[in-house]
Amino acid sequence: MTKTSLVLVCSLGLISCAGADGKDGQDAEVGVREASKSRCPEGGSVLTFGEEEVVVCNGEDGATGAAGEDGEDGATGPIGPQGEPGVAGPQGEAGEDGSVGPQGEKGDPGEPGVATPSVGVIEADLYCGALFDNTNYSFDYWVTVMTDGTVFASAAINRRDFGVSGSRVYAPNENGALNASVTVRFDAAGDPNFGWWQVRLDRESLVIQIDYNDLDLVNDQTTWTLQPNENNCVINQVL
């Protein structure tokens, strides 16, 4: 387009000069129209001066000029909005154990505990056995005292051909624990009317008392006592 404009100006100058040279002639009519593609493939214009025509075609595009220098960096823009949190990464491996810290101060002494007696440990026991005077009967008697105060007692009333026994277990404070009383049901006199025996121990004197109760007896009862000695008793510690 720059080349076209220069040619046009020059042509107008020629027209002006031609007008100056003519003395008697009249000025020619000037017209401009677009040139056809057959005349100007790149486009152009047709100038008419009366009956004469001047075709002005556009030249080809010139080569691209060299790139200009880069401009200076623009100012930093505002901070954008915060993005969404990312997915949590996998857990890392466990670190090594740290060194042992210093020993703490000694704590205050605790309150004294309550002593609990051992369970199932024998503290003392006794066995006695002897014949009843003027009878064919005898007895056996066992007493065991545990460290927690529990009492095991058993007794047997024996005749020549057979015997009957009974036993009891007493808690430390249960009625009967103090004298380790044992009842044996064995009718030994007269009619079979449920006669029964009671064997018990005096824990201080270790005297054993045996009562036989039967309706066929005078006053319904008879009593024997036995003072333990080395011939009729075995005693391990004091009961």
Tokens of 75: 């100012």
Q: Does 196 or 114 have the greater pLDDT score?
A: 196
Q: Closest Cα to residue 216, out of 196, 239, 237, 236? A: 196
pLDDT digits (tens, 9 = 90+) for 38-74: 888 888 888 888 778 888 888 877 788 888 888 888 8
Nearest-angstrom CA–CA distance, 197 and 182: 8
* Amino acid at site 1: M
Percent of the chain with pLDDT over 70: 85
Domain boundaries, the chain: 2-19+26-57, 122-236
pLDDT score recorded for residue 40: 87
pLDDT score recorded for residue 221: 83
pLDDT score recorded for residue 95: 87
pLDDT score recorded for residue 47: 84
pLDDT digits (tens, 9 = 90+) for 139-153: 999 999 999 999 999
Q: How many CB atoms lie within 10 A of CB 204?
A: 9
Nearest-angstrom CA–CA distance, 215 and 93: 92
- 3-state secondary structure at position 9: helix
Burial class (CB in 10 A: 0-12, 13-18, 19+), 82: exposed
Nearest-angstrom CA–CA distance, 19 and 164: 174
Nearest-angstrom CA–CA distance, 213 and 217: 8
- 3-state secondary structure at position 130: strand
* Amino acid at site 232: N
pLDDT digits (tens, 9 = 90+) for 83-134: 889 888 899 888 888 898 898 888 888 888 776 656 678 889 999 999 988 8
**pLDDT mean over 21-42:** 73
Q: Closest Cα to residue 239, out of 201, 210, 211? A: 201
**pLDDT mean over 157-172:** 92
